[in-house]
Amino acid sequence: MHPAIPHLIELQRVDHQIALLRADLESFPKRLREADTRLTGARGEVAAAKDVLAKSNAERKKFEFEAQEWKDRARKYRDQSGAVKTNEAYRALQHEIANAEAEVAKAEDRQLEVMMKAEEVERRVKLAESRLKEAEQSLAAEKKTIEAQAAETKKQLEAATAEHEKTIAPVPEDLRDLYARIAKRHNGTAMALVRDDQCRGCGLRVLPHIVQELRSETSEEVYRCESCGLILYTLEPIPYAKTADGSANAASPASTT
């Protein structure tokens, strides 16, 4: 096969590695956003619980105010009852006092109900705050891990990019262009292994004489699959060939580096 093919094989391996590293690197900002979203959710839970507690406290104060108003009204009626001169007026005041005391009891009952509910809401607030603290600690550690992984991936990407440049250097310009065009059409893959006389890119059978050329160390041709268009190569050893005197000599296998 063409002497540049081993370089292209290695180039494809490096380029696949680069693609994976870039995909990983692109995933880190999303992972950080997801971590922030979880933290925002925990903060929202605390805010919602506190909002319910604030409404509960406001409702409790409302009933406290109502109870005090009715208590003041009952006291006023009692003060007035000592000054009335008729039984009818006295009975009317007693009726108002009884009504005010009943309203006081209702307001205090509602106040007690609200206070009992507030205790449950306070427990929810404390639980939400505890979860938020745990989330903050956990996500802080997760962010550090993600940032460290991103830094390491970036370092690996820089090394792989340098390896790409080193690997592509011996490849002629026309083959570089061909490799790039094919890889662009096939999601980063430009090379296809021939094994058992088949293109492993698409499964098409490769003609015997092309297989022989791919196995030859002296071939200067670049062969592409007639179906998928990928550049063909083989790693199979070159078969034994008989010499003129009938003895068997093995040709050296093609280099893969």
Q: What is the tens place of the pLDDT at every residue in 174-204?
A: 999 999 999 999 999 999 999 999 999 999 9
Judged by average pLDDT, the poorest of 8-12, 92-96, 169-173, 251-255 is 251-255
pLDDT at residue 221 tops 80:
yes
Q: Distance (Å, rounded) from C-alpha 140 to C-alpha 134? A: 10
Give the model's pLDDT for residue 239.
42
- Average pLDDT over the chain reads 87
As to burial, measured by CB atoms within 10 angstroms (0-12 exposed, 13-18 middle, 19+ buried), residue 209 is: exposed
Q: Distance (Å, rounded) from C-alpha 174 to C-alpha 185? A: 17
What pLDDT, in 10s, does the model give residues 162-177? 999 999 999 999 999 9
Q: Distance (Å, rounded) from C-alpha 159 to C-alpha 238? A: 34
Give the model's pLDDT for residue 242.
40
Give me the sign of the Cα torsion angle 209, 212, 214, 219: negative
What pLDDT, in 10s, does the model give residues 123-165? 989 999 998 999 899 999 999 999 999 999 999 999 999 999 9
Give the model's pLDDT for residue 88.
86
Query: At 230, is the pLDDT very low, low, confident or very high (cuts 50, 70, 90)?
Result: very high
pLDDT at residue 84 tops 50:
yes
Give the model's pLDDT for residue 104.
86
Average pLDDT over every residue of 107-126: 87
Give the model's pLDDT for residue 110.
87
Give me the sign of the Cα torsion angle 131, 137, 140, 142: negative
Q: pLDDT over 70 for what percent of the chain? A: 91
Average pLDDT over every residue of 66-79: 87
Query: At 236, is the pLDDT very low, low, confident or very high (cuts 50, 70, 90)?
Result: low
Q: Which domains does the chain have, with CATH numbers?
A: 9-168 (1.10.287.1490), 173-249 (no CATH)
C-beta contacts of 50-57 below 8 A and 24+ residues apart? 50/125, 52/121, 52/124, 53/118, 53/121, 53/122, 53/124, 53/125, 56/114, 56/117, 56/118, 56/121, 57/118
What pLDDT, in 10s, does the model give residues 2-53? 899 999 999 999 999 999 999 999 999 999 999 899 899 999 999 999 998 8
